[in-house]
Amino acid sequence: MSIATTTPSPSVTMSLPLSFIVLWSSGYIGGAIGIQYAEPFTMTFLRFTLAGLLVFGFAVATKAPFPTRWAPILHMAVVGFFMQAMQFGGLYAGMKNGVPAGQSALIVGLMPVFVALFAGSVLGEKVTWKHWIGLGLGLAGVTFVVADRIGSGFAAMAGYAFTGLALTGITAGTLYQKKFCAGLDLRIAGCVQMLVGATIMLAVAWFTESMTINWTPMFVGSVIWLALANSIGALMLLYVMIRRGEATKVTSLFYLIPPVTQVMASATLGEIPGAIDLVGFGLAATGVYIANKR
């Protein structure tokens, strides 16, 4: 897959990361809609299966270089476990247990801060005072938003525990990918990761859920959107940005995901934030921005 080497215009340069943010944020809305008609692990299995098959077909059509050794495939599979199965399985299970889409995005959106902190011990990168300030502000923002809900019952606690599992998954997956998968073709990596995620979600759903699905147009639309817009669209945008040397914009703009998701959730799901919620979102966004400001 060839990428033009000419310098893109400023509008095109900014449209790529901004489109990534919008597509990624919309995944929280699609997931919140999908779990109304199917259990979370069952829905996630369908999402990964569809996306994995489509990316596999795309990789074949564009003649992506398939690895000739098992080691790269195993590394991709590990990332698939963390980045796909743990992140999205935990995310949608948290939503099913009552965590609103905006709050889910807020918690998982702390990923760049934790990646920056653990990059010191895992990747040998320098951890600065900005990272610790960012972590403090981010955690303070989350505390503002969830403090009045965390003690409202077992279901709420379980929901936030699942969302914390999603944060752990995306953080561990990002660090592992940076360390072991930096040079791998993203088409092949995406295919392996999603098929691994689908396999794990199928096993978990088989043993823990009824796998009953209400095949409504809303459910079908949400799964197709999650597969196309998130698993494929966002991945391809990331692929293009990396080839153009703009991948850092994704991290620097990551603090926009929670507020963008909250706006979408307010418009589509009726999740209207209160004044304290807005303060929390502002603190968390500021923390992520400070921790990743270059």
Least confident of 95-99, 148-152, 198-202, 284-288: 148-152
Torsion of CA 265, 25, 289, 108, to 10 degrees: 90
pTM: 0.87
Helix boundaries (H) for the chain? 10-34, 40-61, 70-79, 87-96, 101-108, 111-122, 129-146, 154-180, 186-208, 217-225, 235-243, 247-252, 257-268, 275-292
Tokens of 93: 């299970």
Least confident of 44-58, 85-99, 179-193: 179-193
Question: What mean pLDDT is predicted for residues 24-32?
Answer: 94
Tokens of 260: 């963008």
pLDDT tens digits for 156-194? 789 999 999 999 999 998 888 888 887 788 889 889 999
Tokens of 193: 């990761």
Question: Cα–Cα distances in Å, from 293 out to 136, 190, 244, 250?
Answer: 15, 28, 20, 12
Question: Between 185 and 47, whose confidence is greater?
Answer: 47
Per-residue pLDDT for 226 more than 70?
yes
- Backbone torsions φ then ψ of 120, nearest 5 degrees: -65, -50
197 in Cβ contact with 48 (< 8 Å): yes
Per-residue pLDDT for 266 more than 80?
yes
Question: Between 234 and 63, whose confidence is greater?
Answer: 63
49: left (phi over 0), alpha (psi -120 to 50) or beta: alpha
* pLDDT, position 153: 59
pLDDT tens digits for 228-253? 998 888 867 766 665 565 444 556 66
Closest CA to 178 of 285, 48, 75, 62: 75
